[in-house]
């Protein structure tokens, strides 16, 4: 009796397992990259990079696009154009045309978060102009644009050259009423795709953009920073007094292996004054040959000059964000978490934000300066 | 007092197994998405609600065990019959059986809902419910010792899920927890009440008590089990609160599953699909124990064999599951159940203890007079 029960049960388990939905690799096409654009008639146009695995040939990469009123509606239309059903489980990157993000990013984020097929670790990025031409262009050296853009973003986020923009991080900021989001901006340059800048949002709309070179300053004012490289031009007036050689007025300097610790403090809750204290440790990689880094007094002057430069740069990017009213640094969130019963709303905070005062203080410390002095 | 249950030693279980029974009965479908319910009331102080709910479960279990100790070796159904007489007692027994059945049904429906939403959107729910019911029937027919064994393995096999939650910590922002106690006390208590559906399960002690060999060790193991589940809930809640921003959490239906969705391992890209399927092992003891509790009550009302009972029960559950199809229905019923469970699990045991104590005193006096 027990034996028979066991046999029947195992037969059921083995045979019924195949009754669930099957997704056979040869019969599906895998989407790796999707681009959304806003069209003139309020429709969304979707361009998808699709990888198909054929038993005979090696896998083939295609792009297909379609227009409809909802982004999922375009998926149905795209399905009409392929012989294999489209699956989004391997989606890695979603690109958003800048007209779409200047209008409203909300519906796109919501539709992406709703879909259980889509992981919350996919990356988002804004495209300067439209996403469609960037995806559809036949690049000379890029075989699979989907994989290429994914690697491009991933590599730069890992090295901290670009801001991390996973769906989770983006929607977390988007749904938090007191902070605004930033996204990396991609641009097609002849036969290359490059990360050209950072898009600033006010609530759901993109309101401004800074070049990629300011990314470092934006990043260290938002969070702690663990690697990366920075090139700045410092004022050499202070150095001249310590150095026997003649120095030019401005000296370019390159720093890497950077570690920063960011501390934000609300010092006056009625006047809204914040202290932003950033400690940076780094290695001087490249410097004018006449600056002798073996001289401790000179290094001190050098650090002072670097402090001054970075402070002014950070103040500039913060002032820019206040000008376009996009609190991407988390001042609002900090205020809410440190003032009891603040009852702040998004509108109220955005009224206040341009008026807040931020005292930036940077403390740079040279850890070492390479193998050659 | 009279009216004790005679159970042969070979059907009994060791007291330390109660630890696994309690933990696995408490964790189930609730933990997949309890965060947003509590967040809705207590906002970012939801973790305080979790602590309060855990504390109150300890207090209630204290009363439950006290009541059971008054009777030596009997279960809730026997206590009802003794305290309220045959008719009223059986009515209360019937209500409790109904409660166990509805809890069984809603655990099943909630799990099917998760499977349908995340993994197999086009699979027929009937198919899932039949296969789950068959599995439960198979386990149930093995008897109590098999069910306890399942809960033991369910606990051990489910342990790997906790360290996986370290990955989302990378995204945690401690500022989301501040300022502490920003929400007023009433809302925090309300949040604790919203924990009901998630935290219930420990009331199984009412039924399983006569089956335990070493009655003096019951307290220790049950309270240890409660402590561990409270700790698990608190950890999950803290990770969730720092991982999601407020409004985002309010919109996330199964926050625990969404936590898994950010993890990308080199050999498994989407770990949440594995955890969801794995959840079957976590809810299996839940289902079996509610079924068993309903069975223990039913044999007091009718003369029914366990085989007959389980088939009739499963058929009724299956028929009802045909009528519940949408998320909104499941949500509404779950809310009703958690309201009923709050009265039945968190308030009623205290009342029962007072009544049992009074009865003991009175009957003692009468006994003296009669002699």
Q: Which residues from A are below 8 Å from B when comparing CB atoms?
A: 5, 9, 12, 16, 19-21, 89-90, 113, 116, 119-121, 166, 168-169, 171-177, 179, 330, 333-334, 337-341
Judge whether B127 lies within some domain.
Answer: yes
> Domain range for residue B29?
9-363
Judge whether B212 lies within some domain.
Answer: yes
Average pLDDT over residues B61-70: 91
Q: Inform me whether the pLDDT recorded for B81 exceeds 60.
A: yes
Instruction: For chain A, give the percent of residues with pLDDT over 70.
Output: 94
B1 — pLDDT class (breaks 50, 70, 90): very low
Average pLDDT over residues A25-32: 80
> How confident is the model over A272-326, as pLDDT tens digits?
889 999 888 888 888 877 777 777 888 888 888 888 888 999 999 999 999 988 8
A160 — pLDDT class (breaks 50, 70, 90): confident
Residue B248 class from Cβ within 10 Å (0-12 exposed, 13-18 middle, 19+ buried)? buried
pLDDT for residue B62: 93
Instruction: Check B118 against A338: CB less than 8 A apart.
Output: no
Whether the link from the prior residue into A275 is cis, omega within 30° of 0, is: no
Closest CA to B210 of B29, B47, B11: B11
pLDDT for residue B242: 92
Closest CA to A92 of A141, A60, A49: A49
Mean pLDDT over each residue of chain A, to the nearest integer? 83
Mutate which: B138, B248, B258, vs A, most A CBs within 10 A: B248
Instruction: For chain A, give the percent of residues with pLDDT over 90.
Output: 7
pLDDT for residue A19: 67
DSSP structural state of residue A371: B
Backbone φ and ψ of A67, nearest 5°: -120, 145
Judge whether B307 lies within some domain.
Answer: yes
Q: Enter the tokens of residue A64.
A: 């297909």
* Residue entry with tokens 């309270």: B223
Residue of A nearest to B122 (CA): A21
Judge whether B161 lies within some domain.
Answer: yes
- Is ipTM strictly over 0.90? no
Q: Strands of B139-295 (E only): list them.
A: none
Nearest-Cα distance to chain B for A122, in Å, is 9
Of A5, A168, A177, nearest to B171 by CB-CB distance is: A168
Residue of B nearest to A118 (CA): B261
- In this structure, are strands A357-368 and A123-127 parallel, antiparallel, or unpaired? unpaired
DSSP codes, B91-143: HHHHHHHHHHHHHHHHHHHHHHHHIIIII-TTS-HHHHHHHHHHHHHHHHHT-
* CATH classification at residue B238: 1.20.1740.10
Nearest-Cα distance to chain B for A127, in Å, is 24
Judge whether B152 lies within some domain.
Answer: yes
Q: Enter the tokens of residue B265.
A: 């391992």
List of chain B residues whose C-beta atoms are within 8 Å of the C-beta of residue A120: 258, 261-262
Nearest-Cα distance to chain A for B271, in Å, is 10
Q: How far is it, in rounded angstroms, from Cα B36 to Cα B78?
A: 39
Q: How far is it, in rounded angstroms, from Cα A363 to Cα B314?
A: 69
The mean-pLDDT minimum among A50-54, B50-54, B106-110, B166-170 falls in: A50-54
Instruction: Check A21 against B178: CB less than 8 A apart.
Output: no
Closest CA to A206 of A185, A236, A237, A175: A185
Q: Is the pTM of this model over 0.90?
A: no
Q: Inform me whether the pLDDT recorded for A89 exceeds 70.
A: yes
Q: How many Cβ pairs closer than 8 A exist between chain A and B?
A: 69
H or E stretch covering B312: helix B306-323
DSSP structural state of residue B45: G
The mean-pLDDT minimum among B92-106, B236-250, B258-272 falls in: B258-272
> How confident is the model over A324-357, as pLDDT tens digits?
888 888 888 888 888 887 778 888 888 888 888 8
Angle at A221 between CA A215 and CA A225, to 5 degrees: 75
pLDDT for residue B150: 93
The more confident residue out of A184 and A28 is: A184
Of A20, A120, A177, nearest to B247 by CB-CB distance is: A177
Of A168, A177, A341, nearest to B262 by CB-CB distance is: A168
The mean-pLDDT minimum among A257-266, B153-162, B304-313 falls in: A257-266
List of chain B residues whose C-beta atoms are within 8 Å of the C-beta of residue A16: 131
DSSP codes, A184-248: EEEEEETTEEEEEEEEEEETTEEEEEEEGGGHHHHHHHHS-B---EEEEEEE-HHHHHH-SS---
Judge whether B2 lies within some domain.
Answer: no
A54 — pLDDT class (breaks 50, 70, 90): confident
pLDDT for residue A245: 67
**How many domains, in total, are found in chain B?**
1
pLDDT for residue B369: 43
What residues have CB less than 8 Å from A107, skipping those under 6 apart?
A71
Nearest-Cα distance to chain B for A237, in Å, is 41
Specify whether the CB–CB gap between A180 and A326 falls below 8 A: yes
Residue of B nearest to A123 (CA): B262
Q: Say how many CA atoms lie within 13 Å of A232 toward its Cβ.
A: 23
> How confident is the model over B164-196, as pLDDT tens digits?
889 888 888 888 888 888 888 899 999 999 898
Mean pLDDT over each residue of chain B, to the nearest integer? 89
């Amino acid at each position: 009796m027990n034996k028979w029960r066991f046999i029947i049960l195992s037969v059921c388990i083995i045979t019924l397992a195949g009754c669930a939905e099957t997704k056979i690799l040869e019969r599906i096409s895998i989407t790796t990259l999707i681009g959304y654009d806003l069209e003139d008639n309020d429709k969304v146009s979707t361009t998808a990079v699709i990888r198909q695995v054929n038993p005979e040939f090696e896998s083939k990469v295609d792009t297909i696009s379609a227009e409809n009123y909802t982004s999922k509606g375009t998926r149905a239309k795209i399905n009409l154009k392929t012989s294999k059903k489209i699956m989004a489980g391997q989606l890695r990157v979603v690109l958003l045309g800048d007209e779409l993000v200047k209008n409203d990013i909300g519906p796109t984020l919501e539709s992406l978060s709703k879909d259980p097929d889509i992981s919350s670790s996919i990356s988002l990025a804004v495209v300067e102009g439209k996403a469609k031409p960037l995806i559809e262009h036949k690049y000379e050296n890029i075989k699979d644009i989907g994989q290429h853009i994914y690697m491009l973003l991933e590599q730069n986020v890992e090295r901290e050259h670009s801001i991390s923009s996973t769906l989770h991080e983006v929607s977390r900021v988007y749904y938090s009423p007191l902070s605004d989001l930033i996204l990396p901006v991609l641009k097609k340059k002849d036969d290359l795709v490059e990360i050209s800048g950072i898009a600033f949002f006010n609530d759901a709309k993109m309101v401004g953009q800074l070049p990629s070179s300011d990314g470092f300053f934006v990043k260290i004012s938002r969070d702690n920073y663990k690697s990366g490289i920075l090139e700045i031009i410092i004022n050499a007036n202070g150095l001249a007094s310590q150095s026997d050689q003649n120095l030019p007025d401005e000296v370019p300097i390159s720093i890497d292996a950077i570690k920063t610790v960011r501390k934000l403090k609300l010092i006056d809750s009625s006047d809204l004054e914040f202290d932003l204290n950033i400690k940076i440790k780094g290695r001087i990689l490249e410097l004018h040959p006449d600056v002798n880094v073996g001289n401790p007094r000179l290094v001190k002057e050098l650090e002072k000059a670097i402090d001054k430069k970075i402070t002014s740069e950070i103040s500039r990017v913060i002032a820019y964000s206040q000008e376009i009213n996009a609190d991407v640094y988390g001042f609002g969130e900090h205020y809410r978490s440190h003032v009891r019963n603040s009852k702040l709303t998004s509108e109220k905070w955005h009224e206040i934000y341009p008026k807040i005062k931020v005292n930036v203080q940077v403390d740079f410390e040279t850890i070492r300066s390479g193998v050659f002095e | 007092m009279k009216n004790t249950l005679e159970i042969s030693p070979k059907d009994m279980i060791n007291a330390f197994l109660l630890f696994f029974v309690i933990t696995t009965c408490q964790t189930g479908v609730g933990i997949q998405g309890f965060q947003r319910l509590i967040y809705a009331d207590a906002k970012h102080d939801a973790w305080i609600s979790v602590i309060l709910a855990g504390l109150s479960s300890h207090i209630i279990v204290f009363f439950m065990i006290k009541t059971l100790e008054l009777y030596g070796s009997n279960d809730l159904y026997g206590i009802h019959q003794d305290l309220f007489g045959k008719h009223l007692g059986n009515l209360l027994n019937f209500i409790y059986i109904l409660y166990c059945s509805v809890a069984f049904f809603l655990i099943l429906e909630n799990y099917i809902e998760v499977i349908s939403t995340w993994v197999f959107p086009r699979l027929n729910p009937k198919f899932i419910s039949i296969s789950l019911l068959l599995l439960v029937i198979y386990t149930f027919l093995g008897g109590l010792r098999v069910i306890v064994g399942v809960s033991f393995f369910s606990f051990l096999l489910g342990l790997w899920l906790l360290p996986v939650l370290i990955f989302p910590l990378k995204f945690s922002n401690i500022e989301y927890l501040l300022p502490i106690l920003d929400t007023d006390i009433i809302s925090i208590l309300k949040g604790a009440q919203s924990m009901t559906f998630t935290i219930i399960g420990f009331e199984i002690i009412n039924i399983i008590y006569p089956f335990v060999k070493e009655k003096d060790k019951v307290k220790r193991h049950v309270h240890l089990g409660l402590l561990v589940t409270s700790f698990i809930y608190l950890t999950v809640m803290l990770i969730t609160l720092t991982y999601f921003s407020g409004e985002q959490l309010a919109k996330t239906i199964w926050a625990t599953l969404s936590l898994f969705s950010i993890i990308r391992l080199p050999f498994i890209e989407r770990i949440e699909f594995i955890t969801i399927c794995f959840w079957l092992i976590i809810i299996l003891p839940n289902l079996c124990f509610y079924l068993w509790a309903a069975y223990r009550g039913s044999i007091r009302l009718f003369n029914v064999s366990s085989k007959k009972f389980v088939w009739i029960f499963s058929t009724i559950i299956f028929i009802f599951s045909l009528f519940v199809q949408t998320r909104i229905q499941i949500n509404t019923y779950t809310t009703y159940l958690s309201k009923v469970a709050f009265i039945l699990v968190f308030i009623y045991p205290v009342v029962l203890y007072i009544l049992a104590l009074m009865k003991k005193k009175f009957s003692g006096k009468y006994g003296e007079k009669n002699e």
